[in-house]
Amino acid sequence: MNIKLNGKEIIIKTGATIESLVRDRKIKPDTVVFELNRKIIEPEKWSQARIMENDEIEILTFMGGGACER
């Protein structure tokens, strides 16, 4: 089925979940947040969050930073 992942159209298997997407794409689960159709999906709900045809998913990655001296 077709979905949009971070703005790019890709094909994934029917019946996929956020959890299976994490596994199949070898994503480190403790470093990301998933947004499914503009709604944040909590990690404990990834296995129940079914992905449907034409869904839009954004994977947001945590970034660390430090203080900038001037």
Q: Which domain holds residue 43?
A: 2-61
Q: Please, which residues bridge with residue 59 across strands? A: 34
pTM for this prediction: 0.83
Residue 70 counted as domain residue: no
Q: Please, which residues bridge with residue 42 across strands? A: none
Residue 68 counted as domain residue: no
- C-alpha angle 14-30-38 in degrees, rounded to nearest 5: 55
Residue 69 counted as domain residue: no
Residue 6 counted as domain residue: yes
What is the domain count for the chain? Answer: 1
* Cβ 22 vs Cβ 29: under 8 Å: yes
* High-pLDDT (> 90) share of the chain, %: 83
What's the pLDDT at 62?
77
Domain of residue 49, CATH code: 3.10.20.30
